[in-house]
Amino acid sequence: MSNEFDYNKVKQATSVDQSDRNVPYNLRQSGPTKVEMLISTRVRKNAYWHLSMKAGCWRATVYNRVYHPRGYVKPEDGGAMVEYDAIVNHVTMWNVACERQIRVKGPDAEKFTDYVITRDATKISPMRARYVILCNAYGGVLNDPILLRISKDEFWFSLSDSDIGLYLQGVNADERFNVEIDEIDVSPVQIQGPKSKALMQDLCGDQVDFDNMPFYGLAEAKVGGRDCVISQSGFSGEAGYEIYLRNSLLYAEDMWNAVLEKGKKHNLMVIAPAHHRRIQAGILSWGQDMDNQHNPFQCNLGYQVSLSGKGEWNKKGDYVGKKVLEKMGADIKAGKKPYKLQLVGMELGGKPIEEYAPDFWLISGENGGDPIGFITSPWYHPEKKQNIAMGFVPFDGTLNANGFPKGKAGSKFKVHLPEKYSEKPGQAVDAVVVEMPFKESYNANTREVVKG
């Protein structure tokens, strides 16, 4: 077989119903296009970029207009699954400075924040964080950041991948809220894995009571002699923390090197964000598993709109998207289908998928035929010895016990994998819808309602 890919045969899959989107997902199967990333000054090098290079980073992507390291162990040395072993057995550090920090500060900080997120900001205490979503006026998910409340009048939006900093400034362009909104020089790293608590205790000593620190709890501490905010949180499903370094462009080496030094006895490894582990935990990646044309209900985030359970709406006041989201939720409960595709979890056949997917692989019905959906996040699950994935299939109206849409467990499909993963060339593999998460998280409430 030729190594040359025939791009003349690359076609958009028109049989997948994306008629409710203005910009459909690009479902052309173009494969791992061989290009070299241009490093230039129009995209930011984050505070730890040079340290990631020293640690062996060999590939990167762009996230929030920032270069983002996405691989340290090369394929010939075991690749991403070596990094997986490190996070599930030891402890890892990730350069996630691409999670820009947008600070909202001032007398109306709580009022403004409550207006732009779907959950109740007034119930978030100072020095606590929460996973939140921001929606537009059409109900589309603009971002799903971690929101840190530093004090009564100061919030930080720790962003996933989109221009929410500019959006927040636009919302307050008329200055109706008495706040200042801007990015600050704070860059996080994530410390993830079963030995993360022991490492953090060695780093911080008695500055932080890690034994009694709640999930999404915050603390001020010095790491490497530099001021940081510590959060018990992470993007992996493993035990973990985030270290938010203040004045990071000045003090990146001090904090980073302190973690490396204290991490030696814990078998610390610098790795890329563990997407294999976050998929197992059912954690979404904005831009991959959802975007601003997906509503919360179709990507398993309906609880962010109806936080009291059983479909009872949040009692907070007005917020961006409230009217359309509550109507959509009511329509769903009435048996209507206000959107086309639903995000589901799947187990599927094929050879082990141990690398990032370059395309949204196509899904057909149980008996094959034209594609009706697509995979967003696939990976191999070593403990299950099974490929797993998240993906979109036609919404069939199935609801969970709280009245939120879900995929019907046991539903069968066919997935069209690239030849390198197919059991037989040209033949789709079997897939079945299963409940998520695929593996329990260290913090069971990572994706659930947390009161307050």
pTM of the model as a whole: 0.95
Q: Which is higher by pLDDT, 388 or 446?
A: 388
- Into which CATH architecture does domain 279-434 fall? 2-Layer Sandwich (3.30)
User: Domain spans of the chain?
Assistant: 39-274, 279-434
Question: What values do phi and psi take at 260, rounded to 5?
Answer: -60, -45
Backbone Cα Rg of the chain:
22
Q: Can you give the pLDDT at residue 34?
A: 85
Question: HSE of 279 in the Cβ direction (CA atoms, 13 Å)?
Answer: 30
Give mean pLDDT, residues 389-412. 93
For residue 1, the model assigns a pLDDT of: 34
pLDDT bucket at 309, cuts 50 / 70 / 90:
low
- Tens of pLDDT along 415-444? 999 999 998 988 999 999 999 999 988 875
More reliable by pLDDT, 63 or 2: 63
CATH fold, domain 39-274, is: Gyrase A; domain 2 (3.30.1360)
Helix, strand, coil shares, percent, the chain, to 5: 20, 30, 50
What is the tens place of the pLDDT at every residue in 315-348? Answer: 888 999 999 999 999 999 899 999 999 999 999 9
- Has residue 451 got a pLDDT over 50? no
**What pLDDT, on a 0 to 100 scale, did the predictor assign at position 392?**
98
User: Taking 80 as the threshold, does the pLDDT of residue 313 lie above it?
Assistant: no
CB atoms inside a 10 Å sphere around CB 249: 11
Q: Calculate what percentage of the chain has a pLDDT beyond 90.
A: 87
The Cα 263–Cα 257 span in angstroms is 10
Mean pLDDT for 156-165 is 95
Q: Using a pLDDT cut of 70, give the percent of the chain over it.
A: 95
Q: State the pLDDT at residue 444.
A: 57
**Cis amide prior to 418 (ω within 30 degrees):** no
Q: Tokens 């690009």 belong to which residue?
A: 26
Query: Mean pLDDT over all residues of the chain?
Result: 93
